[in-house]
Each structure stands twice: as structure tokens, then as C-alpha cells.
Amino acid sequence: YAQFNKTVQLNEVVVAYEDGVPVACGALRVFAPRVMEVKRMYTLPKYRGRGIAARVLTELEAWAGELSCEKCILETGKRQPEAIALYEKNGYRSIPNYGQYGTVDNSVCFEKVIGKKV
């Protein structure tokens, strides 16, 4: 995955804090017109299972909607069942791997319509 972890410009970033400590984050990047890609979703292990990641995701989707986006897409690893469950629970559906993940066997991609139908 090293080839996918290059620094990209992320202008929309959500950071969740608990008692002044950053405990979770996520970001958006423009993927295509009216499509945002959810990137860098992460929650510190000791804060997982508390709904924090779901809240970060909800805030990112709201932000994407404010930016006139109609859907969000994302990629995660097949070996991350908690992440897959989070996305499915929050209305994401599996799609064919896109872009740079097209030939990556360990990737699974999702999308969620957040505005009008595309």
C-alpha cells in the first residue's frame, strides 16, 4: 500500500477530540465532479467502539453535501472488518474497485449517495 500513501492535498479534515486529545480523524478529497473520496479514517484503538468514527463520517458527508457533492466513495482493506461494518452500517454499498485500487486484491471499495441521484 506504500504507493497509495503519498501525501495528497486534503483541505477538508475532521478531527474528533476527547478531553482535548485528538482521538479520531477523517478527510475528504475531490475525486471527480460532485464526488468526494473519504480518506484517512482512523480512530485510536482505545477509543474504538464508541461511535466516534461514525460521527466523523457523518460530519464528512455533511461537509461534502455543503460542497454540492452528490456521493462519497472510499476504499478500505478486506482485512479491516470493523471498517467495513462501519461503512455498511452507515449506508455505504460495495462497488467495483476504482482508480488506483482497481487491481488491488486486498481492497474493497464503497459508495454512498449523499445528495440527489447521479
Protein fold of 2-113: Aminopeptidase (3.40.630)
pLDDT digits (tens, 9 = 90+) for 82-102: 999 999 999 999 999 998 898
Q: Which residues pair with 16 in a beta bridge?
A: 24
pLDDT of residue 19: 96
pLDDT along the chain (118 residues), means of 10: 59 95 96 96 96 98 96 96 97 95 93 78
Q: Residue 115: what pLDDT?
A: 76
- The DSSP bridge partners found for residue 72 are 36, 112
Contact 71, 113 (CB under 8 A): yes
Q: Tabulate helix, strand, coil % of the chain (nearest 5).
A: 30, 40, 35
Residues β-bridged to residue 35: 32, 71
For position 10, what pLDDT does the model report?
A: 79
Provide the pLDDT for residue 97: 95
Query: What is the per-residue pLDDT for 1?
Result: 46
All three cell numbers of 114: 449523499
Predicted local confidence at residue 4, as pLDDT: 53
pLDDT at 27: 96
Q: What's the rounded Cα separation, in Å, for the pair 109 and 77?
A: 9
- A 10 A CB-CB count for 97 gives 15
pLDDT at 11: 81
The domain spans of the chain are 2-113
Cβ atoms of residues 47 and 18 within 8 Å: yes
- SS3 for 82? helix
